[in-house]
Amino acid sequence: MEEVYIKENIKAVEAVIAAECEKAGRAVDEVTLIAVSKTKPVEMLQEAYEYGCRDFGENKVQELIEKYEVLPKDIRWHMIGHLQRNKVKYIVDKVYLIHSVDSFRLAEEINKEAEKKNVCVNILIEVNVANEDTKFGTTCEEVKQLVRDIAKLPNIRVKGLMTIAPFVADAEDNREYFRKLKKIAVDIMEENIDNISMEILSMGMTGDYPVAVSEGATYVRVGTGIFGVRQYQMPNGKEI
Ligand SMILES: *Cc1c(COP(=O)(O)O)cnc(C)c1O
């Protein structure tokens, strides 16, 4: 297997984030790097942890739980993948933030399970800004009503928006989508809905995070750029 220099990679990503913040007149601590560790073994996460990473992103419930069990408890786990309602109960008390809420039914399920465990769950609304058929996420037209509805659920706090931009050769092509997500967040903020904040914008991945930072991202989700390319099979193949 190809050697991956995790600490050097993180340092390089942080340098790019700092440079983009500087250019955009933003404070560098406005942006948090999430190390997207899906499919990667615990040893690699440990190395990122030793470097100082405390935010990790996973997209499968079972994998998140397995890693949660064995890694230090001060890690903030981010659920960034599509979440099925029947799996919500396994993670509501383990995750720091769920980035991928795109329906009221899913929000209701999170609220129900959060109530049972007596916790309040922080979530983001996933928006399919580019309207791609292949992507989850609510639409730009529906997101505001969805936020207003979810605001009424007592055990959920909406903290902002997330998007997965199209896979493009030139990251500049995604600038308009990052800008659009930011604009939607500003519009929602202006409604002053109780229980809602729009302080988080989760956008930007290995291919386009510099552009996302320059357009206002507060979380960037970087996998390949830290841990190297992914092999897609799960180590044990099964899911909860
Ligand atoms: C896998 C994944 C990422 C990271 O993708 P890279 O291109 O490897 O940086 C970011 N966000 C989500 C939602 C993902 O599923």
What's the pLDDT tens digit per position in 66-92?
999 999 999 999 999 999 999 999 999
Is 91 a pocket residue for ligand 1 (Cβ < 6 Å)?
Answer: no
Is 38 a pocket residue for ligand 1 (Cβ < 6 Å)?
Answer: yes
The best mutation among 13, 32, 33, 36 to test binding of ligand 1, ranked by most ligand atoms within 8 Å of the C-beta, falls on: 36
pLDDT digits (tens, 9 = 90+) for 25-52: 999 999 999 999 999 999 999 999 999 9
Burial class (CB in 10 A: 0-12, 13-18, 19+), 48: buried
Taking the centre of ligand 1 as the mean of its atom positions, its distance from the CA of residue 176, in whole angstroms, is 19
Q: Whose CA is nearest to atom 7 of ligand 1?
A: 206
Task: State how far the alpha carbon of 26 is from the alpha carbons of 18, 162, 220, in Å.
Answer: 9, 20, 15
pLDDT band, very low/low/confident/very high, at 141 (cuts 50, 70, 90): very high
160: tokens are 């902002």
Please give the pLDDT value at position 213.
98
Q: Percent of the chain having pLDDT more than 70?
A: 95
The yes-or-no verdict on residue 20 having pLDDT over 60 is: yes
229 φ/ψ angles, rounded to the nearest 5 degrees: -65, 150
pLDDT band, very low/low/confident/very high, at 4 (cuts 50, 70, 90): confident
Taking the centre of ligand 1 as the mean of its atom positions, its distance from the CA of residue 26, in whole angstroms, is 24
Domains in the chain, CATH or no CATH each? 6-225 (3.20.20.10)
The yes-or-no verdict on residue 19 having pLDDT over 50 is: yes
pLDDT band, very low/low/confident/very high, at 238 (cuts 50, 70, 90): very low
Which amino acid is present at 166?
A: P
Record the pTM: 0.95
Please give the pLDDT value at position 3.
75
Q: Whose CA is nearest to atom 13 of ligand 1?
A: 80
pLDDT digits (tens, 9 = 90+) for 107-126: 999 999 999 999 999 999 99
The string of DSSP letters for 62-110 reads HHHHHHHHHS-TT-EEEE-S---GGGHHHHTTT-SEEEEE--HHHHHHH
| Whole-number Å distance between alpha carbons of 95 and 111 | 14
